[in-house]
């Protein structure tokens, strides 16, 4: 088999072997339901509490402010819908940005159909939210501001502390979708005035199908999934113990290795960006040059189209993406790239490469060389390119 260079870590990551090892006993040995009274269930409960403690510790939060969910999308849906419901008496206005993940945007559209008003604040050409516009959008009826910590496509990190301060100043709840940031960037919910925060296990070498929503004590959000008394009666469903344990280990691992790992990723990322911009003409980098996720590079290659590029890269063993994975199947160009001002046909030729701790300098050099060849071939084929 050909060597695979996996550069789509923003879509999902390889579950770390030690994460899998930590999960294994909870499938076949300590498989008890955590809500039971007998010892077998006690082991599950203990393991779950440990994971909760780890995660709370990383965020500077309390254990009982971490609620496990099935992933980032559920967390986002929960945060938005159930807050909207709980605070409806106070107002019906929500502020978010134009470049949120669909889990936030489509939920906002759903809320709009149900009597809420949503302001989608613009971003600048680097994908940073316009703080002035954000503050101006605030109304007496504004109940929630939801802005992602870092963008999944172009990697831009938002000024979360400033947004938190604005929300705080106006007495408005602040939710952040930190699905891409948790485990990659240091986050402290108090410093950043975050009231709710979404994260997902599979983005940091944890398992798929597990996430959490941090809810600051005192926030009167409702349940989203009703039923049993799990998660302090706020999120029903038999606890996914292996998933929770795996998430805990992955979070711990990500926090412990963060500094060293991201320093290495940043160096490789910058090498990738520098070489591509220098060696491939008619190319631009999308997203902020410095305030960007350590492992994210996003390019637009003029005159060519993304899918063709991805297939050709795959034939060379390189996994990348164009737009975000969850919108593939959709033909529209990325709403994020349009929001930063790219015209349709340029947005179409974009390539996202997201590194992992396993990426090497040789990988990156091979990828750049391959890209050069592919871009050349596709441009030759393109009716838009005249040289």
Ligand X SMILES: Cc1ncc(COP(=O)(O)O)c(C=O)c1O
Stretch in the footprint of other proteins (CB under 8 A) among 237-245, 256-264, 291-299, 342-350: 342-350
Structure tokens at 180: 């891409």
Residue 181 CB, nearest approach to ligand X (Å): 8
What is the DSSP code (8-state) at residue 108?
H
Q: Which of residues 78-117 bind a second copy (CB under 8 A)?
A: 101-104, 106-107, 109-110
Q: Looking at the annotation, which residues are catalytic? A: 326
Instruction: Specify whether the CB–CB gap between 133 and 122 falls below 8 A.
Output: yes
Closer residue to other proteins in complex, CB, 247/301: 301
Bridge partners (DSSP) listed for residue 353: 297
When asked if residue 24 is in the footprint of other proteins (CB under 8 A), the reply is no
Give the C-alpha separation, 61 to 155, whole Å: 25
Q: How far is CA 271 from the centre of its chain?
A: 24
Closer residue to ligand X in complex, CB, 72/183: 72
Of the residues 88, 136, 161, 233, which one makes contact with other proteins according to CB under 8 A: 233
When asked if residue 70 is in the footprint of a second copy (CB under 8 A), the reply is yes
Residue 356 CB, nearest approach to a second copy (Å): 11
Task: Give the H/E segment covering residue 242.
Answer: helix 241-279
Give the C-alpha separation, 361 to 267, whole Å: 9
- Specify the pairing of strand 173-177 against strand 142-146: parallel
Closer residue to ligand X in complex, CB, 184/302: 184
Closer residue to ligand X in complex, CB, 138/325: 325
Residue 328 CB, nearest approach to ligand X (Å): 12
Instruction: Specify whether the CB–CB gap between 97 and 120 falls below 8 A.
Output: yes
Give the C-alpha separation, 304 to 152, whole Å: 22
Residues of this chain that interact with ligand X (CB under 6 A) are 71-73, 76, 101, 103, 148, 152, 177, 179-180, 200, 202, 211, 237-238, 326
For the stretch 44-72, what's the b/e string if a residue is b when 16 or more beta carbons lie within 10 angstroms of its beta carbon? bbebbebbbebbbebbebeeebbbbbbbb
When asked if residue 314 is in the footprint of a second copy (CB under 8 A), the reply is yes
- Which of 357, 347, 345 is CA-nearest to residue 299? 347
Of the residues 307, 358, 365, 369, which one makes contact with other proteins according to CB under 8 A: 307
Of the residues 15, 31, 42, 325, which one makes contact with other proteins according to CB under 8 A: 42
Q: Angle between the 39-59 and 241-279 helix axes, to the nearest 10 degrees?
A: 30
Q: Which of residues 221-240 bind a second copy (CB under 8 A)?
A: 223-230, 236-240
- Name residue, tokens 């190319």: 283
Closer residue to other proteins in complex, CB, 190/332: 332
Closer residue to a second copy in complex, CB, 83/189: 83
Q: How far is CA 215 from the centre of its chain?
A: 18
When asked if residue 155 is in the footprint of a second copy (CB under 8 A), the reply is no
Q: Closest-CB residue for ligand X?
A: 72
When asked if residue 357 is in the footprint of a second copy (CB under 8 A), the reply is no
For other proteins, the binding residues (CB under 8 A) are 37, 42, 221-223, 232-234, 303-305, 307-308, 311, 315, 329, 331-333, 344-345, 348, 380-384
């Amino acid at each position: 088999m050909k060597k695979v260079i996996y550069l789509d870590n923003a879509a999902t990551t390889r579950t770390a072997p030690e994460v899998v090892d930590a999960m294994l006993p909870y499938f076949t040995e300590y498989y008890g339901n955590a809500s039971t009274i007998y010892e077998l269930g006690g082991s599950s409960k203990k393991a779950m509490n440990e994971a909760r403690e780890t995660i709370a510790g990383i965020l500077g939060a309390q254990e009982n402010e971490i609620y496990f969910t099935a992933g980032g999308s559920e967390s986002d849906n929960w945060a938005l819908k159930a807050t909207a419901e709980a605070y409806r008496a106070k107002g019906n206005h929500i502020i978010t940005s134009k470049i949120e993940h669909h889990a936030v945007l489509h939920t906002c559209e759903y809320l709009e159909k149900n009597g809420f008003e949503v302001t989608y604040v613009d971003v600048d050409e680097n994908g940073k939210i316009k703080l002035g516009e954000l503050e101006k959008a605030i109304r007496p009826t504004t109940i929630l501001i939801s802005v992602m910590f870092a963008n999944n496509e172009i990697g831009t990190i938002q000024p979360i502390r400033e947004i938190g301060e604005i929300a705080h100043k106006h007495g408005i709840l602040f939710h952040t979708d930190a699905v891409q940031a948790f485990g990659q960037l240091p986050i402290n919910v108090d410093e950043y005035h975050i009231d709710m925060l979404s994260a997902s296990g599979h983005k940091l070498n944890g398992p798929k199908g597990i996430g959490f929503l941090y809810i600051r004590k005192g926030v009167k959000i409702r349940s989203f999934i009703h039923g049993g008394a799990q998660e302090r009666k706020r999120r029903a469903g038999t606890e996914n113990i292996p998933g929770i344990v795996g998430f805990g280990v992955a979070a711990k691992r990500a926090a412990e290795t963060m500094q060293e790992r991201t320093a290495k990723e940043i160096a490789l990322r910058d090498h990738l960006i520098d070489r591509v911009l220098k060696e491939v003409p008619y190319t631009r980098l999308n997203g902020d040059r410095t305030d960007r996720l350590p492992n994210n590079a996003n390019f637009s290659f003029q005159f060519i189209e993304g899918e063709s590029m991805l297939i050709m890269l795959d034939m060379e063993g390189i996994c990348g993406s164009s737009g975000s994975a969850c919108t593939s199947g959709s033909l529209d160009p990325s709403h994020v790239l349009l929001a930063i001002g790219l015209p349709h046909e340029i947005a179409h030729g974009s390539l996202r490469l997201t590194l992992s701790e396993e990426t090497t300098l040789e990988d990156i050099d091979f990828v750049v060389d391959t890209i050069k060849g592919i871009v050349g071939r596709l441009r030759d084929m393109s009716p838009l390119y005249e040289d």
